[in-house]
Protein backbone atom coordinates (compact mmCIF):
# COMPACT_ATOMS: atom_id res chain seq x y z
CA UNK A 1 0.00 0.00 0.00
CA UNK A 2 1.53 3.35 -1.06
CA UNK A 3 1.78 6.28 1.32
CA UNK A 4 1.69 9.96 0.53
CA UNK A 5 3.87 12.47 2.39
CA UNK A 6 2.71 15.86 3.61
CA UNK A 7 4.81 17.72 1.02
CA UNK A 8 3.32 15.72 -1.85
CA UNK A 9 -0.16 16.37 -0.52
CA UNK A 10 0.52 20.09 -0.26
CA UNK A 11 1.99 20.11 -3.77
CA UNK A 12 -1.04 18.28 -5.12
CA UNK A 13 -3.37 20.64 -3.32
CA UNK A 14 -1.81 23.76 -4.84
CA UNK A 15 -1.51 22.42 -8.40
CA UNK A 16 -3.41 24.72 -10.78
CA UNK A 17 -6.59 23.26 -12.27
CA UNK A 18 -7.60 23.69 -15.88
CA UNK A 19 -10.74 25.64 -14.96
CA UNK A 20 -9.21 27.97 -12.38
CA UNK A 21 -8.91 30.82 -14.90
CA UNK A 22 -12.58 30.53 -15.92
CA UNK A 23 -14.91 33.28 -14.77
CA UNK A 24 -17.04 32.27 -11.80
CA UNK A 25 -20.72 31.75 -12.50
CA UNK A 26 -22.92 34.66 -11.49
CA UNK A 27 -25.31 33.73 -8.71
CA UNK A 28 -29.00 33.83 -9.46
CA UNK A 29 -30.89 36.77 -7.95
CA UNK A 30 -33.22 34.42 -6.10
CA UNK A 31 -35.08 31.18 -6.25
CA UNK A 32 -37.45 31.24 -9.20
CA UNK A 33 -36.31 34.69 -10.39
CA UNK A 34 -34.86 34.92 -13.91
CA UNK A 35 -31.48 36.49 -14.49
CA UNK A 36 -30.95 39.57 -16.64
CA UNK A 37 -29.80 37.41 -19.53
CA UNK A 38 -32.90 35.23 -19.31
CA UNK A 39 -35.16 38.27 -19.25
CA UNK A 40 -33.36 39.72 -22.27
CA UNK A 41 -33.74 36.44 -24.19
CA UNK A 42 -37.43 36.15 -23.34
CA UNK A 43 -38.32 39.75 -24.24
CA UNK A 44 -36.18 39.73 -27.36
CA UNK A 45 -37.68 36.48 -28.58
CA UNK A 46 -41.25 37.72 -28.26
CA UNK A 47 -40.47 41.12 -29.79
CA UNK A 48 -38.72 39.47 -32.72
CA UNK A 49 -41.64 37.05 -33.07
CA UNK A 50 -44.09 39.96 -33.20
CA UNK A 51 -42.11 41.70 -35.93
CA UNK A 52 -41.85 38.48 -37.92
CA UNK A 53 -45.56 37.71 -37.43
CA UNK A 54 -46.51 41.18 -38.66
CA UNK A 55 -44.30 40.71 -41.73
CA UNK A 56 -45.81 37.31 -42.49
CA UNK A 57 -49.48 38.15 -41.94
CA UNK A 58 -49.58 41.74 -43.22
CA UNK A 59 -47.08 41.62 -46.10
CA UNK A 60 -46.39 38.08 -47.30
CA UNK A 61 -49.68 36.15 -46.83
CA UNK A 62 -53.26 37.36 -47.42
CA UNK A 63 -54.33 36.66 -43.84
CA UNK A 64 -54.62 40.15 -42.46
CA UNK A 65 -56.43 40.97 -39.25
CA UNK A 66 -55.57 40.98 -35.54
CA UNK A 67 -56.70 37.39 -34.96
CA UNK A 68 -54.22 35.83 -37.38
CA UNK A 69 -51.52 38.20 -36.16
CA UNK A 70 -51.95 37.01 -32.58
CA UNK A 71 -52.03 33.33 -33.56
CA UNK A 72 -48.90 33.56 -35.69
CA UNK A 73 -47.22 35.65 -33.00
CA UNK A 74 -47.86 32.94 -30.43
CA UNK A 75 -46.49 30.17 -32.64
CA UNK A 76 -43.40 32.11 -33.70
CA UNK A 77 -42.82 33.32 -30.16
CA UNK A 78 -42.69 29.76 -28.84
CA UNK A 79 -40.42 28.69 -31.70
CA UNK A 80 -37.98 31.58 -31.18
CA UNK A 81 -38.02 31.02 -27.42
CA UNK A 82 -37.09 27.37 -27.94
CA UNK A 83 -34.31 28.24 -30.42
CA UNK A 84 -32.73 30.97 -28.29
CA UNK A 85 -32.94 28.80 -25.19
CA UNK A 86 -31.31 25.86 -26.96
CA UNK A 87 -28.31 27.98 -28.01
CA UNK A 88 -26.93 28.48 -24.53
CA UNK A 89 -29.02 26.16 -22.38
CA UNK A 90 -29.98 22.58 -21.86
CA UNK A 91 -33.10 20.65 -22.77
CA UNK A 92 -34.56 21.44 -19.34
CA UNK A 93 -34.15 25.17 -19.99
CA UNK A 94 -35.88 24.88 -23.36
CA UNK A 95 -38.86 22.99 -21.94
CA UNK A 96 -39.09 25.34 -18.96
CA UNK A 97 -39.19 28.51 -21.07
CA UNK A 98 -41.60 27.09 -23.65
CA UNK A 99 -44.01 25.89 -20.95
CA UNK A 100 -43.68 29.25 -19.17
CA UNK A 101 -44.64 30.97 -22.41
CA UNK A 102 -47.66 28.69 -22.85
CA UNK A 103 -48.88 29.20 -19.27
CA UNK A 104 -48.39 32.96 -19.47
CA UNK A 105 -50.23 33.10 -22.77
CA UNK A 106 -53.14 31.12 -21.34
CA UNK A 107 -53.37 33.44 -18.34
CA UNK A 108 -53.33 36.50 -20.62
CA UNK A 109 -56.05 35.02 -22.85
CA UNK A 110 -58.30 34.30 -19.86
CA UNK A 111 -57.67 37.76 -18.41
CA UNK A 112 -58.32 39.44 -21.76
CA UNK A 113 -61.56 37.49 -22.19
CA UNK A 114 -62.75 38.51 -18.71
CA UNK A 115 -61.82 42.18 -19.15
CA UNK A 116 -63.32 42.38 -22.64
CA UNK A 117 -66.59 40.83 -21.41
CA UNK A 118 -66.90 43.28 -18.52
CA UNK A 119 -65.99 46.26 -20.68
CA UNK A 120 -68.43 45.25 -23.41
CA UNK A 121 -71.32 44.75 -20.96
CA UNK A 122 -70.68 48.07 -19.21
CA UNK A 123 -70.28 49.89 -22.54
CA UNK A 124 -73.57 48.57 -23.91
CA UNK A 125 -75.56 49.41 -20.77
CA UNK A 126 -74.06 52.53 -19.22
CA UNK A 127 -76.87 54.96 -20.09
CA UNK A 128 -79.63 53.52 -17.84
CA UNK A 129 -77.13 53.30 -14.98
CA UNK A 130 -76.95 57.10 -14.91
CA UNK A 131 -80.59 57.37 -13.76
CA UNK A 132 -81.45 56.80 -10.10
CA UNK A 133 -84.87 55.38 -10.94
CA UNK A 134 -83.16 52.39 -12.55
CA UNK A 135 -82.27 51.14 -9.06
CA UNK A 136 -85.32 52.20 -7.02
CA UNK A 137 -88.24 51.57 -9.43
CA UNK A 138 -89.74 48.48 -11.05
CA UNK A 139 -91.14 47.91 -14.54
CA UNK A 140 -94.83 47.99 -13.66
CA UNK A 141 -96.65 50.14 -16.23
CA UNK A 142 -93.46 50.75 -18.24
CA UNK A 143 -93.36 49.85 -21.92
CA UNK A 144 -90.35 48.69 -23.95
CA UNK A 145 -90.10 52.06 -25.74
CA UNK A 146 -90.39 54.27 -22.68
CA UNK A 147 -87.35 56.44 -21.89
CA UNK A 148 -84.77 55.48 -19.31
CA UNK A 149 -86.22 58.03 -16.87
CA UNK A 150 -89.04 55.54 -16.24
CA UNK A 151 -88.80 52.05 -14.82
CA UNK A 152 -86.02 50.11 -13.14
CA UNK A 153 -84.85 46.73 -11.94
CA UNK A 154 -85.70 46.90 -8.24
CA UNK A 155 -88.06 43.94 -8.60
CA UNK A 156 -85.33 41.84 -10.24
CA UNK A 157 -82.73 42.76 -7.62
CA UNK A 158 -85.11 41.94 -4.77
CA UNK A 159 -86.09 38.65 -6.38
CA UNK A 160 -82.48 37.56 -6.88
CA UNK A 161 -81.58 38.45 -3.30
CA UNK A 162 -84.55 36.55 -1.86
CA UNK A 163 -83.94 33.48 -4.00
CA UNK A 164 -80.19 33.41 -3.28
CA UNK A 165 -80.76 33.90 0.45
CA UNK A 166 -83.19 30.99 0.61
CA UNK A 167 -80.95 28.78 -1.55
CA UNK A 168 -77.89 29.54 0.61
CA UNK A 169 -79.82 28.88 3.81
CA UNK A 170 -80.79 25.45 2.45
CA UNK A 171 -77.61 24.36 0.68
CA UNK A 172 -74.92 25.63 3.04
CA UNK A 173 -75.73 23.37 6.04
CA UNK A 174 -76.67 20.46 3.77
CA UNK A 175 -73.55 20.79 1.65
CA UNK A 176 -71.14 21.12 4.58
CA UNK A 177 -72.95 18.34 6.44
CA UNK A 178 -72.62 16.06 3.41
CA UNK A 179 -68.92 16.87 3.16
CA UNK A 180 -68.41 16.16 6.88
CA UNK A 181 -70.22 12.84 6.49
CA UNK A 182 -68.08 11.83 3.50
CA UNK A 183 -64.81 12.92 5.13
CA UNK A 184 -65.19 12.27 8.85
CA UNK A 185 -67.62 9.34 8.97
CA UNK A 186 -66.70 7.39 5.85
CA UNK A 187 -67.84 3.86 5.11
CA UNK A 188 -69.53 2.23 2.16
CA UNK A 189 -72.53 4.55 2.23
CA UNK A 190 -70.16 7.54 2.13
CA UNK A 191 -68.74 6.23 -1.14
CA UNK A 192 -72.26 6.03 -2.56
CA UNK A 193 -72.97 9.61 -1.44
CA UNK A 194 -69.71 10.82 -2.98
CA UNK A 195 -70.60 9.16 -6.29
CA UNK A 196 -74.04 10.78 -6.30
CA UNK A 197 -72.57 14.20 -5.49
CA UNK A 198 -70.03 13.93 -8.29
CA UNK A 199 -72.77 12.89 -10.72
CA UNK A 200 -75.00 15.81 -9.69
CA UNK A 201 -72.17 18.25 -10.32
CA UNK A 202 -72.77 17.93 -14.07
CA UNK A 203 -76.57 18.14 -13.75
CA UNK A 204 -78.07 20.47 -16.41
CA UNK A 205 -79.95 23.42 -15.01
CA UNK A 206 -83.07 22.67 -17.06
CA UNK A 207 -83.26 19.22 -15.45
CA UNK A 208 -83.12 20.76 -11.96
CA UNK A 209 -85.92 23.15 -12.91
CA UNK A 210 -88.04 20.33 -14.32
CA UNK A 211 -87.46 18.26 -11.18
CA UNK A 212 -88.70 21.01 -8.86
CA UNK A 213 -91.56 21.82 -11.25
CA UNK A 214 -92.68 18.19 -11.33
CA UNK A 215 -92.28 17.43 -7.63
CA UNK A 216 -93.12 20.70 -5.92
CA UNK A 217 -95.56 22.36 -8.31
CA UNK A 218 -97.31 19.52 -10.16
CA UNK A 219 -97.29 16.77 -7.52
CA UNK A 220 -97.55 18.80 -4.30
CA UNK A 221 -99.56 21.68 -5.74
CA UNK A 222 -97.25 24.47 -4.52
CA UNK A 223 -97.71 27.64 -6.60
CA UNK A 224 -95.03 29.01 -8.88
CA UNK A 225 -93.13 31.41 -6.71
CA UNK A 226 -89.73 32.61 -5.60
CA UNK A 227 -89.48 29.79 -3.09
CA UNK A 228 -89.86 27.20 -5.85
CA UNK A 229 -87.15 29.00 -7.83
CA UNK A 230 -84.90 28.99 -4.76
CA UNK A 231 -85.42 25.24 -4.40
CA UNK A 232 -84.36 24.76 -8.02
CA UNK A 233 -81.27 26.88 -7.42
CA UNK A 234 -80.47 24.88 -4.30
CA UNK A 235 -80.48 21.69 -6.38
CA UNK A 236 -77.83 23.29 -8.60
CA UNK A 237 -75.75 24.68 -5.73
CA UNK A 238 -75.80 21.69 -3.37
CA UNK A 239 -73.40 19.35 -5.26
CA UNK A 240 -70.95 22.19 -5.94
CA UNK A 241 -70.73 23.18 -2.27
CA UNK A 242 -70.58 19.56 -1.06
CA UNK A 243 -67.85 18.58 -3.53
CA UNK A 244 -65.70 21.64 -2.86
CA UNK A 245 -66.15 21.34 0.93
CA UNK A 246 -65.19 17.66 0.75
CA UNK A 247 -61.91 18.55 -0.94
CA UNK A 248 -61.22 21.28 1.62
CA UNK A 249 -61.89 19.05 4.63
CA UNK A 250 -59.51 16.43 3.28
CA UNK A 251 -56.70 18.98 3.35
CA UNK A 252 -57.05 19.54 7.12
CA UNK A 253 -54.08 17.79 8.80
CA UNK A 254 -54.94 14.56 10.56
CA UNK A 255 -52.72 15.51 13.48
CA UNK A 256 -55.23 18.15 14.56
CA UNK A 257 -57.98 15.55 14.76
CA UNK A 258 -55.75 13.12 16.64
CA UNK A 259 -54.67 15.80 19.11
CA UNK A 260 -58.27 16.78 19.82
CA UNK A 261 -59.36 13.18 20.29
CA UNK A 262 -56.34 12.50 22.51
CA UNK A 263 -57.39 15.35 24.80
CA UNK A 264 -60.75 13.66 25.34
CA UNK A 265 -62.95 15.55 22.90
CA UNK A 266 -65.71 13.65 21.16
CA UNK A 267 -65.92 13.25 17.41
CA UNK A 268 -68.50 15.96 16.84
CA UNK A 269 -66.66 18.43 19.11
CA UNK A 270 -63.50 17.77 17.13
CA UNK A 271 -65.31 18.50 13.88
CA UNK A 272 -67.09 21.58 15.25
CA UNK A 273 -64.20 23.19 17.16
CA UNK A 274 -61.13 21.99 15.21
CA UNK A 275 -61.88 20.80 11.67
CA UNK A 276 -64.44 23.37 10.55
CA UNK A 277 -62.61 26.46 11.93
CA UNK A 278 -59.40 25.27 10.28
CA UNK A 279 -61.14 24.84 6.92
CA UNK A 280 -63.20 28.05 7.13
CA UNK A 281 -61.44 29.90 4.25
CA UNK A 282 -61.86 26.88 2.01
CA UNK A 283 -65.51 26.51 2.99
CA UNK A 284 -66.06 30.15 2.05
CA UNK A 285 -64.55 29.36 -1.34
CA UNK A 286 -66.98 26.44 -1.67
CA UNK A 287 -69.85 28.81 -0.91
CA UNK A 288 -68.54 31.25 -3.53
CA UNK A 289 -68.47 28.49 -6.14
CA UNK A 290 -72.02 27.48 -5.27
CA UNK A 291 -73.29 31.06 -5.46
CA UNK A 292 -71.51 31.54 -8.77
CA UNK A 293 -73.34 28.50 -10.12
CA UNK A 294 -76.78 29.58 -8.95
CA UNK A 295 -76.73 33.34 -9.36
CA UNK A 296 -76.76 33.28 -13.16
CA UNK A 297 -79.27 30.48 -13.77
CA UNK A 298 -82.27 31.42 -15.91
CA UNK A 299 -84.10 28.28 -16.97
CA UNK A 300 -84.91 27.00 -13.43
CA UNK A 301 -86.35 30.39 -12.48
CA UNK A 302 -88.34 30.57 -15.72
CA UNK A 303 -89.89 27.14 -15.12
CA UNK A 304 -90.59 27.42 -11.40
CA UNK A 305 -91.30 31.11 -10.85
CA UNK A 306 -91.93 33.10 -13.98
CA UNK A 307 -91.37 36.81 -14.54
CA UNK A 308 -93.13 39.66 -12.76
CA UNK A 309 -92.83 43.36 -13.58
CA UNK A 310 -93.42 44.52 -10.00
CA UNK A 311 -91.75 44.02 -6.61
CA UNK A 312 -92.74 40.83 -4.78
CA UNK A 313 -91.61 40.60 -1.15
CA UNK A 314 -93.29 37.32 -0.27
CA UNK A 315 -91.32 34.43 -1.82
CA UNK A 316 -94.24 32.01 -1.38
CA UNK A 317 -96.92 34.15 -3.01
CA UNK A 318 -96.98 34.52 -6.77
CA UNK A 319 -94.30 34.82 -9.42
CA UNK A 320 -91.02 36.58 -8.65
CA UNK A 321 -88.55 37.98 -11.15
CA UNK A 322 -84.75 37.81 -10.94
CA UNK A 323 -81.81 39.52 -12.59
CA UNK A 324 -80.89 36.63 -14.95
CA UNK A 325 -84.52 36.29 -16.02
CA UNK A 326 -84.82 40.06 -16.58
CA UNK A 327 -81.63 39.99 -18.66
CA UNK A 328 -82.95 37.04 -20.68
CA UNK A 329 -86.30 38.75 -21.32
CA UNK A 330 -84.70 42.06 -22.27
CA UNK A 331 -82.09 40.52 -24.56
CA UNK A 332 -84.83 38.66 -26.48
CA UNK A 333 -86.77 41.86 -27.04
CA UNK A 334 -86.54 43.48 -30.50
CA UNK A 335 -86.54 46.94 -28.93
CA UNK A 336 -83.05 48.51 -28.59
CA UNK A 337 -83.96 50.25 -25.34
CA UNK A 338 -84.95 46.98 -23.68
CA UNK A 339 -81.71 45.40 -24.88
CA UNK A 340 -79.79 48.27 -23.31
CA UNK A 341 -81.72 47.79 -20.06
CA UNK A 342 -80.71 44.13 -20.18
CA UNK A 343 -77.04 45.05 -20.46
CA UNK A 344 -77.45 47.47 -17.55
CA UNK A 345 -79.00 44.70 -15.46
CA UNK A 346 -76.06 42.46 -16.42
CA UNK A 347 -73.71 45.13 -15.09
CA UNK A 348 -75.62 45.23 -11.81
CA UNK A 349 -75.47 41.43 -11.64
CA UNK A 350 -71.67 41.52 -12.06
CA UNK A 351 -71.38 44.06 -9.24
CA UNK A 352 -73.72 41.99 -7.04
CA UNK A 353 -71.67 38.83 -7.57
CA UNK A 354 -68.47 40.72 -6.80
CA UNK A 355 -70.01 42.08 -3.59
CA UNK A 356 -71.08 38.59 -2.52
CA UNK A 357 -67.59 37.27 -3.16
CA UNK A 358 -66.00 40.05 -1.09
CA UNK A 359 -68.44 39.47 1.79
CA UNK A 360 -67.74 35.73 1.76
CA UNK A 361 -63.98 36.29 1.81
CA UNK A 362 -64.28 38.78 4.69
CA UNK A 363 -66.35 36.30 6.68
CA UNK A 364 -63.79 33.58 6.03
CA UNK A 365 -60.86 35.64 7.31
CA UNK A 366 -59.54 34.65 10.75
CA UNK A 367 -60.38 36.91 13.63
CA UNK A 368 -57.95 39.76 14.15
CA UNK A 369 -57.85 39.33 17.93
CA UNK A 370 -56.90 35.67 17.72
CA UNK A 371 -54.21 36.42 15.16
CA UNK A 372 -52.82 39.23 17.29
CA UNK A 373 -52.73 37.08 20.39
CA UNK A 374 -50.96 34.33 18.51
CA UNK A 375 -48.48 36.75 16.97
CA UNK A 376 -47.55 38.60 20.15
CA UNK A 377 -47.32 35.65 22.51
CA UNK A 378 -44.19 36.27 24.63
CA UNK A 379 -41.46 33.64 24.63
CA UNK A 380 -39.77 32.86 27.94
CA UNK A 381 -35.98 32.87 27.87
CA UNK A 382 -33.83 30.41 29.74
CA UNK A 383 -32.94 33.00 32.39
CA UNK A 384 -36.63 33.70 33.09
CA UNK A 385 -37.37 29.98 33.37
pLDDT in tens, 103-146: 988 999 999 998 998 899 999 888 888 888 888 888 888 877 88
Give the integer Cα–Cα distance in Å for 175 and 185.
15
Residue 306 has φ and ψ, to the nearest 5°, of: 90, 175
pLDDT band, very low/low/confident/very high, at 242 (cuts 50, 70, 90): very high
Residue 147 has φ and ψ, to the nearest 5°, of: -70, 170
Between residues 277 and 145, the one the model is more confident about: 277
Domain count, the chain: 2
* Alpha helix stretches (DSSP H) within 264-335: 267-270, 276-278, 280-294, 299-304, 323-331
Closest by CA to 304, choosing from 157, 205, 238, 374, is 205
Of 71, 105, 124, the residue at which a domain comes to its end is 124
Please report the pLDDT score of residue 382 as a whole number: 41
Whether the full predicted model's pTM is greater than 0.85, yes or no, is no
H or E segment and range at residue 343: helix 336-364
Shared domain check, 337 and 195: yes
Query: Domain containing 281 — which CATH number?
Result: 1.10.3720.10
Give the integer Cα–Cα distance in Å for 275 and 180.
9
Of 124, 142, 174, the residue at which a domain comes to its end is 124
Annotate 137-163 with b (16+ C-beta within 10 A) or e (fewer): bbbeebeeeeebeebbbbbbbbbbebb
Could you give the percent of the chain with pLDDT greater than 70?
Answer: 86
pLDDT band, very low/low/confident/very high, at 1 (cuts 50, 70, 90): very low
Could you give the percent of the chain with pLDDT greater than 90?
Answer: 15
Give the integer Cα–Cα distance in Å for 179 and 146.
50
The answer to whether residue 211 scores a pLDDT higher than 50 is yes
Shared domain check, 207 and 106: no
Please report the pLDDT score of residue 32 as a whole number: 60
Neighbours of 175 (CB within 10 A): 27
Residue 6 lies in a domain: no
**Residue 165: which domain range?**
154-365
The two most distant CA atoms of the chain are separated, in Å, by 110
Amino acid sequence: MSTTTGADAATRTHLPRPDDDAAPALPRPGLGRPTAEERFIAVGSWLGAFALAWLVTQRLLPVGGPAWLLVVWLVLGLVLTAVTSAIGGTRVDVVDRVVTGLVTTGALVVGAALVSTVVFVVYRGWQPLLHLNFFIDDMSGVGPRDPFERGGILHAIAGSMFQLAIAIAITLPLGIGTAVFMTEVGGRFAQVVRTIVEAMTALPSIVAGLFIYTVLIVAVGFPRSGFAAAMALSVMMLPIIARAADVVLRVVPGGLREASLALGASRWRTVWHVVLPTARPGLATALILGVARGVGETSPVLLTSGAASFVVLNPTDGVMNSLPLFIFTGARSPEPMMIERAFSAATVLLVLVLALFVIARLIARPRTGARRRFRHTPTLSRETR
